[in-house]
Amino acid sequence: MPPRMRSSRTVADIGEFGFLSRMLPRLATDSHTIVGPGQDCAVVSSGRRTLLTVDALVEGVHFEPAWLSPRQLGRKSFLVNASDIAAMGGRPRFCVVSVGIRPSYLTRDLSALQAGIVAAAAECGASVVGGNLTRADKLFVSITLLGDAPARLVTRQGAHPGDHIYVTGWLGDAALAVRLLRAGEVTGSGRFHPIRRFREPSARLHAGQSLVDAGIVSAMIDVSDGLIQDLGHICTESGVAATIDPQAIPVSSDYRAMQGPDRSLALTGGEDYELLCTVPERNVKRLRRLQSHLGCPITCVGRIEKGRGVRLAGDPSRVAKAAGFDHFLQR
């Protein structure tokens, strides 16, 4: 067999353990990692109360290979989890990674994927302490992230009638990006804001920590499945209703340029990884003082009420369908 170019080497050429032996030494861990990657288990020194979350990105479901570079995919796989930690006001600490790939996957792509995970973890103050690599027909990356819990816990259950509903950043960009990427309209258009956000999302960690530590929010969730759906979770678990004003929803200038006044993607599109929270009236002034320190805009989009379900301000008689991202219902 002729020697292969190093850059075209696949995982099938070097095997799981061949790859792991190259990759493991590159993982930086911190002083709280007692035993790092490469053993049956990692051993970590954790706080008394640990946050625990898991999320997966699957080829053909969450992305097509052409939409994200391997490094972007790695980075995003971490950040979708960091967003869950942000929604609880926590601090990411340790993660383990479960990856499924085809044997024909290039080792340089796997290295880039891994580097993206490690870089995103480091940006958020976390270490990659273990993982598992398996064969799979479609690429998947499932990451479990541990974080330090804040002193005061905020869940989806604390919203009360009269609370104001706030959302960080801008909504609808990721859904707009997926629509454009599916249509093949924007190949290479990395400067277009929605595409950039789809490829390189942020987790609102600092905002989440600040809002929880200051005791400002009564309930919080990250917007991963769409505003209506995720607000619906808060309503269901808090036993309340909500009315939102579609025109108040913050959108990017690119979104506005392409969609005009249409807010449907901002209402139902998933994967924006913004924070959605409820703020009691008595805390609104303190939120205003804090808002320039959150690292992102925060906008009031509606109000919590008595009752059930999510209503749109322009059409108060109708309960908005819990339309949002559900892998199984929307195909």
Report the SS3 class of residue 39.
Answer: coil
- Closest approach, Cβ 118 to its own copies, in A, equals 16
Residues near 76 by Cβ (< 8 Å), separated by ≥ 6? 57, 68, 116, 120, 199, 200, 201
Report the SS3 class of residue 28.
Answer: coil
- Closest approach, Cβ 253 to its own copies, in A, equals 29
Burial grade of 187 (CB within 10 A; 0-12, 13-18, 19 or more): exposed
CB 133 within 8 A of CB 16: yes
Nearest residue to 53 (alpha-carbon basis) of 77, 82, 29:
82
> What are the phi and psi torsion angles at 33 (to 5°)?
-90, 105
- Closest approach, Cβ 294 to its own copies, in A, equals 18
Report the SS3 class of residue 263.
Answer: coil
- What are 60's two structure tokens? 């053909």
- Closest approach, Cβ 169 to its own copies, in A, equals 17
- Closest approach, Cβ 257 to its own copies, in A, equals 32
